[in-house]
């Protein structure tokens, strides 16, 4: 018997996919640009999906309303960044960060606070009933979208990148947008913090145990519902952060943006294995890369390609790449 | 102090549309090992789960140390120093043996904060727990998992241990180890309620016994009396213990 072994095979899928498409793309510099764009997109999706996968894993709750927190985060960012024009107009990355960081913090706080109410009034009454969960959380998202329209209006709002985050850096001939590098760094930071909490703290241990067998965690004397509320709120806050990142990535926000991203999130969760944080990262990176490669090679197949990817993964590992023992 | 640590009076339990327990009356004397016997489907596991609050009694009363716990939530009951080992052992397969133990030590934030003396005692009871300390619990054998499940239940001092079929699926040599370990646990003064189908296992350990059938207790008394009374055994074995 071995000590805890990490299963590296799913992690290898990311470089394997990247290398497989290289001959089809032809140009090395284009491949680098697309790969960095894919990784950046994947990291943003991971930030959004990481909380949702734990919510499902811990309480078996299918929250189709997760998208509302994405949109909320993005719209809050438009207000915060809009009020800090002096900082966003500066060419200094540090001054830009002094606007973007508060926008992220406020977006996370607002999304987290709304998450408390969403859990209490929408999710809690439907524990244990998947059909009701799907219906009521989708309804919650629609209401959320309408409330966003009431506050910020129904139209698309531009969310331009701060001046210092615009433009590209060059790796040889390959141009890589600065913001995509920032997105990768933020994504890695979120993953690192989540991994640290999950593997090095008692709370993380409880979450991992709760994902496997919540009844046993309760039998050990822990209130899993309190833990779940905490995870739900953190998941909502991360979706808010992801919304800021996604909005800046798209450079505009619309009230329906959460619903648009929802489908990608669920593909990511299914690929990764419901409840697995590392699985969500792998799934998000694969989806991000696939979307960018097919967007370049066969634009009309962009969405289908991710569904095909999900089907291929499920044929290999029906429970997702990092299926949890239950 | 009440002689009975745990007492069930007329407990009924419904699971969905099914009426499983039909008025269970059961007492668990303090400091003794009580065996709960009965055929498959008699309601033994439901009784344990109802005591733990995993399913709530629809009627009747459950008291622990004189306090009514009938409608308390599972974490509240567990916090009264009641440990439960379910039939499936409830091992967290993706966690290591150490992490499984750490979870049960509620006030320890890391393995170093687990009571070292107690851990040493547990290692003497269940050496496999020490041997595979850093290994994934999911890779342990069935017997090792059962040892871990019981070790986890006693990582902190408990007043009452509730264990569901610890000998199920285990090899005879491992069952003997378990009997030795339960013997030592008994000697330490902890009160134990143990569900069992293996009568030989039960008669070697039990102080008192209750036999269930069709969701009610059909016999209660001393284990010694049941072990020595063949006629009684036959009448109860007719219920396929």
Task: Provide block-wise average pLDDT over 10 residues at a time, chain B (241 residues).
Answer: 88 94 96 92 95 96 96 97 95 95 93 94 93 94 92 94 89 84 89 90 91 93 89 69 44
Contact B73 A4 (CB under 8 A): no
Q: Write down the pLDDT at residue B239.
A: 45
Contact B92 A1 (CB under 8 A): no
Q: What is the pLDDT of residues A98-117, one digit of tens each?
A: 999 999 999 999 999 999 99
Query: How far is the alpha carbon of A5 from chain B, nearest alpha carbon, in Å?
Result: 9
B215 — alpha (psi -120 to 50), left (phi > 0) or beta? left
Q: Write down the pLDDT at residue B167.
A: 85
C-alpha–C-alpha distance, residues B91 and B109, integer Å: 19
C-alpha–C-alpha distance, residues A208 and A227, integer Å: 11
**Given CA atoms B222, B223, B228, B231 in this order, what sign does their dihedral have?**
positive
* Residue ranges of A 107-166 with Cβ closer than 8 A to chain B: none
Q: Write down the pLDDT at residue A1.
A: 52
Contact B135 A324 (CB under 8 A): no
Global pTM reads: 0.87
C-alpha–C-alpha distance, residues A19 and B88, integer Å: 45
Query: How far is the alpha carbon of A60 from chain B, nearest alpha carbon, in Å?
Result: 17
Contact B74 A218 (CB under 8 A): yes
Contact list, A206 vs chain B (CB under 8 Å): 103
Contact A228, A30 (CB under 8 A): no
Interface test with A, best of B53, B86, B90 (most A CBs within 10 A): B90
Contact list, A1 vs chain B (CB under 8 Å): 132, 135, 139-140
Please name the member of B93, B109, B140 whose beta carbon is closest to the beta carbon of A325.
B93
Contact list, A209 vs chain B (CB under 8 Å): 92, 95, 99, 103
Confidence grade of residue A275 (pLDDT, cut at 50, 70, 90):
confident
Query: How far is the alpha carbon of A310 from chain B, nearest alpha carbon, in Å?
Result: 24
Q: Write down the pLDDT at residue B238.
A: 63
From the list A268, A206, A201, A315, the residue with the least C-alpha distance to A48 is A268
Q: Write down the pLDDT at residue A128.
A: 82
The two three-digit tokens of residue B62, written as one number: 């459950």
- B138, closest residue in chain A (CA to CA): A325
Contact A107, A73 (CB under 8 A): yes
Contact list, B129 vs chain A (CB under 8 Å): none
Q: Tokens 């509240």: give the residue.
A: B76
Query: How far is the alpha carbon of B160 from chain A, nearest alpha carbon, in Å?
Result: 13
Q: Write down the pLDDT at residue B237.
A: 59
| Adjacent-strand bridge partners of A168 | A177
Average pLDDT over residues A228-247: 95
Average pLDDT, chain B: 91
Residue B223 half-sphere exposure toward CB, CA atoms < 13 A: 22
A8-12, A132-136, A262-266, range with greatest mean pLDDT: A132-136
Contact A202 B109 (CB under 8 A): yes
Q: Write down the pLDDT at residue B1.
A: 56
Contact A216 B78 (CB under 8 A): no
Contact A243, A51 (CB under 8 A): no
Other beta carbons within 10 angstroms of residue A302's beta carbon come to 16
Beta-sheet pairing, A157-158 with A252-253: antiparallel
Please name the member of A208, A218, A220 whose beta carbon is closest to the beta carbon of B104.
A220
Q: What is the pLDDT of residues A218-227, one digit of tens each?
A: 999 999 989 9
- A202 touching B (Cβ < 8 Å): yes
| Adjacent-strand bridge partners of B22 | B12
Contact A209 B86 (CB under 8 A): no
- B133, closest residue in chain A (CA to CA): A3
Please name the member of A2, A219, A223 whose beta carbon is closest to the beta carbon of B90.
A219
Confidence grade of residue A183 (pLDDT, cut at 50, 70, 90):
very high
Average pLDDT over residues A133-162: 95
Q: Write down the pLDDT at residue A325.
A: 63
Choice between A172 and B193, residue whose per-residue pLDDT is larger: B193
Q: At residue A3, does pLDDT exceed 70?
A: no
Contact list, B96 vs chain A (CB under 8 Å): 3-4
H helical segments located in chain B: 44-51, 74-78, 97-104, 116-125, 127-131, 142-153, 172-187, 199-205, 223-228, 230-237
Q: Write down the pLDDT at residue B241.
A: 44
Contact list, A220 vs chain B (CB under 8 Å): 78, 103-104, 106
Residues 6+ apart with CB under 8 A from B10: B23, B24, B25, B59, B60, B61
Domains of chain A: 9-316 (1.10.3470)
Contact list, B69 vs chain A (CB under 8 Å): none
Average pLDDT over residues A2-31: 87
Contact list, B138 vs chain A (CB under 8 Å): 325
ipTM computed for the complex = 0.92
Contact list, B110 vs chain A (CB under 8 Å): 202
Burial of A97 (0-12, 13-18, 19+ CB in 10 A): middle
3-state secondary structure of B218: strand
Interface test with B, best of A58, A203, A216 (most B CBs within 10 A): A216
Contact A205 B95 (CB under 8 A): yes
Query: How far is the alpha carbon of B147 from chain A, nearest alpha carbon, in Å?
Result: 16
Contact A324 B94 (CB under 8 A): yes
Percent residues over pLDDT 90 in chain A: 79
- A219 touching B (Cβ < 8 Å): yes
**Residue A299 Cα distances to A57, A291, A293, angstroms:** 34, 9, 9
Contact A209 B136 (CB under 8 A): no
Contact B96 A4 (CB under 8 A): yes
């Amino acid at each position: 018997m071995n000590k805890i072994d990490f299963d590296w095979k799913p992690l290898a899928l990311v470089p394997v996919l990247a290398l497989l498409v290289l001959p089809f793309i032809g140009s090395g510099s284009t491949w680098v640009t697309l790969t960095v764009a894919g990784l950046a997109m994947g990291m943003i999706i991971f930030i959004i999906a990481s909380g949702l996968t734990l919510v499902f894993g811990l309480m078996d709750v299918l929250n189709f309303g997760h998208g509302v927190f994405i949109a909320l985060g993005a719209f809050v960012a438009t207000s915060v960044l809009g009020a800090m024009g002096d900082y966003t107009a500066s060419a200094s990355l540090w001054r830009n960060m002094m606007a973007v960081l508060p926008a992220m913090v406020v977006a996370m706080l607002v999304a987290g606070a709304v998450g408390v109410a969403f859990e209490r009034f929408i999710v809690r009454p439907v524990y244990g009933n998947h059909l009701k969960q799907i219906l009521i959380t989708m309804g919650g998202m629609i209401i959320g979208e309408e409330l966003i329209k009431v506050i910020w209006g129904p139209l698309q709002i531009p969310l331009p990148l701060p001046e210092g985050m615009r433009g590209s850096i060059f790796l040889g001939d390959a141009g890589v947008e600065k913001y995509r590098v920032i997105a990768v760094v933020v994504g890695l930071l979120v993953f690192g913090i989540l991994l640290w909490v999950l593997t090095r703290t008692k709370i993380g241990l409880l979450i991992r145990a709760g994902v496997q067998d919540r009844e046993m965690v309760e039998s050990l004397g822990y209130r899993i519902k309190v833990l779940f509320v905490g995870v739900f709120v953190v998941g909502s806050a991360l979706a808010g952060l992801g919304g800021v990142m996604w909005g800046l990535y798209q450079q505009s926000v619309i009230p329906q943006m959460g619903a648009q991203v929802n489908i990608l999130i669920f593909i990511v969760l299914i690929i990764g294995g419901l409840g697995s944080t590392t699985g969500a990262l792998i799934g998000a990176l694969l989806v991000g890369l696939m979307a960018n490669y097919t967007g370049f090679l066969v634009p009309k197949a962009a969405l289908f390609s991710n569904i095909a990817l999900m089907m291929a993964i499920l044929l290999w590992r029906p429970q997702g790449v990092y299926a949890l023992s239950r | 102090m009440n002689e009975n640590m745990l007492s069930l009076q007329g407990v009924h339990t419904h699971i969905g549309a099914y009426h499983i327990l039909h008025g269970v009356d059961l007492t668990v004397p303090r400091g003794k090992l009580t065996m709960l016997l009965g055929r498959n489907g008699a309601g033994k596991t439901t009784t344990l789960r109802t005591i733990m609050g995993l399913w709530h009694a629809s009627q009747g009363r459950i008291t622990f140390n004189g306090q009514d716990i009938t409608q308390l939530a599972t974490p509240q009951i567990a916090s009264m120093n009641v440990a439960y080992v379910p039939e499936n052992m409830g091992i967290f397969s993706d966690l290591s043996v150490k992490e499984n133990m750490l979870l049960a030590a509620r006030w320890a934030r890391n393995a170093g904060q687990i009571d070292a003396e107690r851990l040493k005692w547990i290692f003497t009871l269940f050496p496999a727990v020490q041997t595979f300390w850093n290994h994934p619990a999911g890779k342990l054998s069935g017997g090792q998992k059962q040892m871990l499940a019981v070790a986890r239940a006693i990582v902190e001092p408990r007043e009452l241990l509730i264990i569901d079929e610890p000998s199920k699926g285990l090899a005879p040599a491992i069952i003997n180890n378990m009997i030795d370990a339960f013997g030592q646990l008994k000697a330490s003064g902890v009160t134990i309620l143990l569900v069992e189908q293996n009568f030989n296992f039960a008669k070697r350990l039990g102080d008192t016994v209750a036999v269930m059938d069709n969701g009610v207790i059909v016999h209660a008394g001393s284990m010694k009396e049941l072990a020595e009374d063949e006629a009684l055994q036959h009448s109860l074995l007719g219920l396929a213990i």
